[in-house]
Amino acid sequence: MDWLTTVDHKKIAILYLIAGGFFFGIGGIEALLIRVQLWKPMNTFVTAQQFNELITMHGTTMIFLGVMPIIFAIMNAVIPLQIGARDVAFPFLNSLGFWTFLFGGLLLNLSWFMGGAPDGGWTAYAPLSSTTYSTTHGVDFYTIGLQIAGLGTLIGGINFLATIITMRAPGMSFMRMPMFTWTTFVTSAMILFAFPAITVGLVLLSFDRILGANFFNVAGGGNPVLWQHIFWIFGHPEVYILILPAFGIISEVVSTFSRKRLFGYSSMVFATILIAFLGFMVWAHHMFTTGMGPVANALFAIATMLIAVPTGIKIFNWLFTMWGGQITFNTANLFAIGFIPTFVMGGVTGVMLGSAPADYQFHDTYFVVAHFHYVIVGGLVLGLFSGLHYWWPKMFGRVLNETLGKIEFWTFIIGFHLTFFLQHFLGLVGMQRRVFTYLPNQGFDLMNMLSTVGAFLMGVGVILFLVNVVITARKPVGVENDPWGDGRTLEWAIPSPPPEYNFKQLPLVRGIDAYWKEKMAGNKEMTPAEPVGSIHMPSPTIIPFVMSVGLFIAGLGFMFTTDDFGNSFLNFLFNNYIVVIIGLGITFGSMIVHSLYDDAGWHIEPEEIDGKGAEA
């Protein structure tokens, strides 16, 4: 019950981690089923229809329900601590964001049990995603599930923006913010601009499907290419929404374990902003073969290649952060070091894809599959593992097992390269992506087989991580504030795990890498910026949970409004929008309750703080 009502950012982080991990597992199982099917030519392990459902759900689940929430978990756990805040700006919204994400994700995955999952690819291109060609409710689950889940992401993004703008500790100017905070800030801004686009697209598509609108229907005056533009205006920035936090994590980890400050901090900040900006300018490079004409293709090609420049700045800055340092090779840093070359490989193939005429050959082949898995798995997932190992002690008060961690790293990264490196060549020799099978003797057989072996190795790596988590959970809590010994940022100045209020007294920040600076000055703890006083805390509340349940019910009801259940009572309930009304009633009702009931929160008094023996 405590977990359903919590508004504490640290607990919400754990909720995000568990839920994100759960969906990540589902997405991973889907990936393995895909690889089993492609193990040999003309395999019949799954049917063509099931395969299309698997690839659609694998992509959708991993992007929206797997890695995004795990990013949010880390952000939630770390950001308030890094900027010296007691919570996020809007704790209630933070909880609401989590619950809408969870219920949106559950709704999407219900499709497996309710007559068919979405099957139009994660991009759901029209007209394939229209009711004419996708006849099950799969795509309805996609549009409505993602709208609800996307709401959570948007709420989270806005919350982090507000938090970082308004709640930095005294002395922490923007140019003294840790790099992870910076990337979170920029990522949140991108979410703010990108997610409304996908929401609009999903609304239009559900109108087409459920209410018979014609936005993407040529016969009715619509245009399917419109969907592609809307989707990618969101879809391309989304890639950077995913990767920027990983950049932040790597910056923190590499710097800590080289015992050096980040090389070229201001150019890193500048590069991050530039990447975000360019990220919005290049969406049409997903559409070079759509027929936009040579002028548009040329412009988008050049804009795309330009992204290599700020990304290159980052890569070299990381390398020169390590230059002259004292590098410790623990698991967190292994993942970070593994990230650098792997991500560079994903980056260079990105530039290759940006060259439009060459893209005519690469587009929609396994070359693209290889490329974006190098970026998303080789970049983001390695980054996430690095971040999880790095901040685990801060979140849970226990250090993950190092030996197991190293085995986990090597299995995962070897499996990863085995799986995806070969896929570049599969694409170049003529294998399209999203094929449920392939004819023998085309030169695809051996590479596909090895790729499948690699995928299972990656699976073993992930399982080892889970084993590590379980083993670690059985150890007693109680590592010190700064278990790595070289922590540089504010979160390492407080106990692990932090007390409910994070900082007894808000710290005074006197430069970049605030905690490290104090340590170098010979201080054991941060200089406080305020006297010890009573700390205001927000009250726990069940309302966000109830609101999300309401949206879940309304979404489910909306989908089936035109169905005939062969049961007059059910028909009555659904066809008259009664279920929708009940669902929305629950949501709006809880909003009204929340508005009318004035909850001023509660306070932790100084005596209690001292009683707990917590230190600022």
- List the interface residues with another protein, window 483-512 (CB under 8 A): none
SS3 563: coil
Residue among 357, 478, 585, 601 that touches another protein (CB under 8 A): 357
| Per rule CB under 8 A, count of chain residues that contact another protein | 87
d(CA 262, CA 495) in angstroms, rounded, equals: 24
As a whole number of angstroms, the distance between CA 316 and CA 319 comes to 5
- Structure token pair of residue 284: 């049409």
Are 244 and 187 within 8 A, CB to CB? yes
Site string for another protein, 430-449 (x = CB under 8 A): x-x-xxxxxxxxxx------
Minimum CB separation of residue 364 from another protein in Å reads: 4
Residue 535's φ and ψ, nearest 5 degrees, are -105, 125
- For residue 185, the minimal CB distance to another protein (Å) is 21
* CB 245, min distance to another protein, A: 22
Minimum Å gap between C-beta 380 and another protein is 19
Helix, strand, or coil here: 597? coil
For another protein, which is the closer residue by CB, 356 or 462?
356
* Residue (308 or 529) nearer to another protein, CB: 308
Letters for 287-326 (x = contact with another protein by CB under 8 A, - = none) are: --xxx-xx--xx--xx--xx-xx--xx-xxx-xx-xxxxx
Three-state secondary-structure class, residue 497: coil
Residue whose CB is less far from another protein, 313 or 580: 313
Contact 110, 188 (CB under 8 A): no
**Residue number with CB closer to another protein (3 or 329):** 329
Measured from the CB atom, the residue of 200 and 520 that comes closer to another protein is 520
Token digits of residue 533: 């006083």
DSSP one-letter code for 400: P
Helical packing angle, 179-210 and 543-559, nearest 10°: 30
Q: How far is the CB of 436 from another protein (least distance, A)?
A: 5
Told to check if 136 binds another protein by CB under 8 A, we report no
Q: How far is the CB of 253 from another protein (least distance, A)?
A: 14
Q: Toward another protein, which CB reaches closer, 354 or 387?
A: 354
Contact set for another protein, span 545-574 (CB under 8 A)? none
- Residues numbered 410-429 forming contacts with another protein, rule: CB under 8 A: 425, 428-429
Choices 153-161, 333-341, 397-405, 545-553 (CB under 8 A): range interacting with another protein: 333-341
273 vs 340 by CB, closer to another protein: 340
Which H or E element spans position 501?
none
Nearby residues of 527 by Cβ (< 8 Å), 6 or more positions away: 507, 508, 510, 518
Closest contact distance (angstroms) between CB of 396 and another protein is 26
442 to 481: interface string for another protein, x by CB under 8 A: xx--------------------------------------
Return d(Cα 237, Cα 339) in angstroms, integer. 21
* Both structure tokens of 183: 């990337």
State the number of CA atoms in the 13 A half-sphere of 406 facing the CB. 5
Binding another protein (rule: CB under 8 A), the pick from 218, 453, 477, 578 is: 218
Residue choice 25, 171, 196, 224 for contact with another protein (CB under 8 A): 224
Question: Could you report how far apart the first and last alpha carbons of the chain are, in Å?
Answer: 29
Footprint on residues 94-123 left by another protein (CB under 8 A): 120-121
The number of C-alpha atoms within 13 Å of 125 and in the hemisphere containing its C-beta is: 6
Cα gap 16→99, rounded to integer Å = 9
Minimal distance in Å, beta carbon 499 to another protein? 30
Q: Which of residues 112 and 193 has its CB atom nearest to another protein in the complex? A: 112
Contact flag: residue 351 with another protein (CB under 8 A)? yes
The site map against another protein for 358-387 (x = CB under 8 A) is xxxx-xxx----------------------
Q: Is 127 in the site for another protein (CB under 8 A)?
A: yes
- With respect to another protein, which residue has the nearer C-beta, 124 or 241? 124
The CA-atom distances, in angstroms, between 354 and each of 62, 63, 292, 469, 498 are 24, 22, 15, 40, 45
Residue 361 vs residues 375, 428, 515, 565: alpha-carbon distances, Å: 20, 8, 51, 47
Which 8-state DSSP code applies to residue 377?
I
Considering only 18, 453, 471, 520, the residue that binds another protein (CB under 8 A) is 520
Comparing CA positions, the residue from 217, 156, 145, 223 lying closest to residue 188 is 156
- Report, in Å, the least distance between residue 417 CB and another protein: 13
- Shortest Cβ distance from residue 230 to another protein (Å)? 15
How far is residue 323's CA from residue 427's CA, in Å, rounded to a whole number?
A: 37
Q: How far is CA 613 from the centre of its chain?
A: 36
Residue among 53, 187, 69, 39 nearest 115 (CA): 53
Question: x/- binding map, residues 250-279, to another protein, per CB under 8 A?
Answer: --------xxxx-xxxxx------------
